[in-house]
């Protein structure tokens, strides 16, 4: 039985979602893609592209970006998208064909399908400090200013570097938006957006106590230079979600989509495709916690129980082949399950905790 609700390419490898955006009446999900094989590869990373009108049914359309210049011949890597003056701008990390350096580049589209790379690329040519890690540009607009976060790190401290722009093409360095040694040597795949009376910030990074790469959600304040968290949550308990990204829908919802796989998952090089996306989820903040629950368009897919999910008033445990316990302890008010062939997503207390796993 094929996977029905979790988007995957018809063939080839996929990992991080990129450039999630609403543009010209459709949701767009770009993604890291090797169209030539079901495994990743140097010099092979493209931006795949899918569109949807309801966040459940997706149509794969032609590849948006290919590694075909000197500055991105080593791969078109993760980034984001933003709409300005009726045009769609996508920002990505370009890996040099020969020096393998990480720089930030931009491409523009009038129709959301065909993209022209900016003649002045790369728009950010070097990190503000000496480090090889400088990637995953995340762009958002606040007031009349565009801000870009770039994932970085040095001497074991993960950092999100901050840039600003008025036109999306000329970028000025502002400083360190957020830094935390507890996030490991690099902050990966940041996302940043206004929410309520503050700002949501999300990033992937250091592994947790079970060896899982973790995604952290923070809610706090931004003064134009630095982010100061009020609270921090880890609703995504894993084990198979990494490098998520969020964006604002036309109705103001903050929608999250992640890569439903892991770098350490065994790979079948003979498989037709490898990797998929999570079901889209809405992020909310309540009582100092960030919640992650399927968007309303997908809630008809949820079930109240599953043979592998065991529930009591203070514990939810999930049977799996994962070597560590998949267990939630605390007050259990509600459990919803979404099963899709060999995939299982378990949502506890309206998304206070989420377990996403492969059953095969």
Catalogue the E-assigned strands of 35-156: 46-52, 58-65, 76-84, 87-95, 102-109, 116-117, 134-142, 145-154
User: Is the bond preceding 239 in cis, omega lying within 30 degrees of 0?
Assistant: yes
Which of 112, 111, 153, 157 has its CA nearest to residue 132?
153
Neighbours of 181 (CB within 10 A): 13
According to DSSP, the residues that pair with 124 across neighbouring strands are 104
Rounded Cα distance between 314 and 196, Å, is: 31
Look-up of token digits 């378990």: 346
Burial of 155 (0-12, 13-18, 19+ CB in 10 A): exposed
Active-site residue, 16 included: yes
For the chain, the straight-line distance linking the first and the last C-alpha, in angstroms and rounded, comes to 13
Joined together, the tokens standing for residue 188 give 């990966």
CA dist 85 → 29, 30, 57, 108, 137 (Å): 20, 21, 28, 11, 20
Of the candidates 334, 3, 8, the one whose C-alpha atom is nearest the C-alpha of residue 346 is 334
Q: What is the DSSP letter of 162?
A: E
Nearest C-alpha neighbor of 103 from the set 150, 146, 63: 150
Residue 296 φ then ψ, to 5°: -60, -30
- How many angstroms separate the CA atoms of 175 and 178, rounded? 9
CA–CA separation, 135 vs 243, rounded Å?
13
Whole-number Å distance between alpha carbons of 30 and 101 = 23
Residue of 16, 72, 136, 180 with catalytic role? 16
Q: Which residues are catalytic?
A: 16
């Amino acid at each position: 039985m094929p996977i029905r609700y979790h988007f995957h390419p018809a063939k080839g490898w996929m990992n991080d979602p990129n450039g999630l955006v609403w543009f010209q009446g459709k949701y767009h999900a770009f993604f890291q893609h090797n169209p030539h094989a079901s495994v990743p590869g140097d010099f092979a990373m493209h931006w795949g592209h899918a569109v949807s009108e309801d966040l459940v049914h997706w149509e794969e359309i032609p590849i948006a970006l290919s590694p075909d210049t000197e500055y991105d011949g080593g791969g078109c890597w993760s980034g984001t998208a933003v709409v300005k003056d009726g045009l769609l701008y996508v920002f990505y990390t370009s890996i040099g064909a020969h020096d393998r350096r990480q720089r930030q580049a931009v491409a523009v589209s009038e129709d959301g399908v065909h993209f022209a790379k900016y003649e002045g690329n790369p728009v950010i040519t070097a990190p503000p400090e000496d480090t090889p890690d400088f990637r995953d540009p995340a762009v958002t607009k606040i007031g009349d200013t565009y801000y870009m976060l770039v994932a970085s790190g040095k001497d074991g401290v993960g950092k999100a570097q901050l840039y600003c722009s008025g036109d999306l093409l000329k970028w000025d360095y502002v400083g360190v938006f957020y830094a935390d040694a507890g996030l490991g040597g690099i902050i990966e795949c940041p996302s940043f957006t206004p929410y309520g009376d503050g700002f949501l910030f999300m990033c992937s990074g250091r592994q947790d106590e079970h060896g899982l790469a973790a995604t952290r959600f923070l809610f706090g304040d931004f003064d134009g230079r630095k982010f100061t968290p009020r609270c921090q949550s880890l609703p995504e308990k894993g084990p198979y979600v990494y490098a998520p990204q969020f964006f604002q829908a036309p109705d103001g919802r903050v929608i999250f989509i992640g890569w439903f796989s892991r770098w350490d998952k065994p790979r079948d090089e003979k498989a037709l495709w490898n990797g998929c996306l999570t079901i889209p989820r809405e992020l909310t903040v309540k009582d100092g916690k960030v919640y992650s629950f399927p968007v309303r368009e997908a809630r008809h897919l949820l079930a109240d129980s599953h043979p592998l999910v065991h529930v009591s008033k203070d514990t939810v445990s999930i049977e799996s082949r994962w070597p560590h316990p998949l267990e939630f302890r605390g007050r259990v008010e509600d459990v919803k399950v979404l099963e899709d062939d060999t995939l299982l997503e378990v949502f506890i207390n309206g998304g206070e905790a989420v377990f996403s796993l492969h059953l095969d």
